[in-house]
Structure 1
């Protein structure tokens, strides 16, 4: 169980940076987006809050541009929360923690992009702040960075899933589950 107190034990689905300029050309883009869309539909059906995170930065992902927009397959419903960020960790410099506190959330199910940047930063940020944190193992992706010496994207995804499945700390849990298997409630 989470180390957060005074929460209702609720879960939220956190969809990180599934934006045109982020996932264009990403590994298994269509499959990942389809799995995220399925998770969003399940969350809505089950009354689980969906929180949309969008990254912006000067020059590449300027807020309001087509590159900054969420992919067309994912359309937030009225009333779903949006978090705008400028750092990798979705908690840094945002009101995400306050938003989740208002929702009574102490468990996050995380999907999105980029595995080796914003996803890793966000799952670590959530876990360090006391949230039980589940990474959806087949619903995160990244662009190819092998030209800069990084491993292939499938290797990055596999490694992230491997080490997150063994993440542990007193009083909170972490782990992975596929989109088809992940529990959106407790």
Structure 2
């Protein structure tokens, strides 16, 4: 259903599952286990797995905080993109990487729900992709900011509003990890 012609494949996008991003994340270990299972299923189906890492003053390339969590390891040949903006499409090779693989649907996972995951959901959708959020494979931490809902509420709200996302020629949606179907093309 994507508006992108001749792009029948589905890719798994793993956003910012870095030590410094998820050190204090809500349900961290559960989300990492769920993601590891999704990565294996995508690989088994021949679907591209695309990894994204954020870098800034706190996530300095090469530091332990910047590295992906040890149980989530890209294989040789899998795309690993570094970004400086919340939306993984901004100023990266994500679009060209997906185009080269014939991807028109992305399955989004990772951290942080309220920043980079949400920005990437919208970024992909606005660029013509069908974008599925995996309800139990994204997380965020409690920022402690006054008036900001806790991480469980942020995750639940994001799952709810993305489940109803639709636009001409494109579909959004939220599914549990067990319900994700990877289309290899």
TM-score category (smaller protein)? over 0.9
Give the corresponding residue for 2:105.
Answer: 107
For 1:66 and 1:152, the matched residues in 2 are separated by 26
Look up the SS of the partner of 1:146 in the other structure.
coil
Number of corresponding residues: 184
2:2 is equivalent to residue 2 of structure 1? yes
For 2:136 and 2:55, the matched residues in 1 are separated by 25
1:149 CA displacement = 2.6
**What pairs with 1:76-91 in structure 2 (closer than 5 Å)?**
76-91=74-89
Deviations 1:91-149 (A, max 9, x none): 00101001100010000001000000000000000000000000000000001023343
Which ranges of structure 1 fall in alignment gaps of 5 or more residues?
Answer: none
Query: Which 4+ residue blocks in structure 1 deviate beyond 4 angstroms?
Result: none
Which ranges of structure 2 fall in alignment gaps of 5 or more residues?
Answer: none
Q: TM-score, normalised by structure 1?
A: 0.97
Give the corresponding residue for 1:129.
Answer: 127
Look up the SS of the partner of 2:105 in the other structure.
strand
Q: TM-score, normalised by structure 2?
A: 0.97
Give the corresponding residue for 1:13.
Answer: 12
1:6 CA displacement = 3.5
Preserved CA contact (<8 Å) 1:23 1:143: yes
Q: CA RMSD in A?
A: 1.0
1:182 CA displacement = 1.2
For 2:33 and 2:147, the matched residues in 1 are separated by 29
Give the corresponding residue for 1:51.
Answer: 50
Preserved CA contact (<8 Å) 1:145 1:151: no
For 1:6 and 1:44, the matched residues in 2 are separated by 21
Preserved CA contact (<8 Å) 1:52 1:83: yes
> Which of 173, 182, 185 matches 2:183?
185
1:5 CA displacement = 1.6
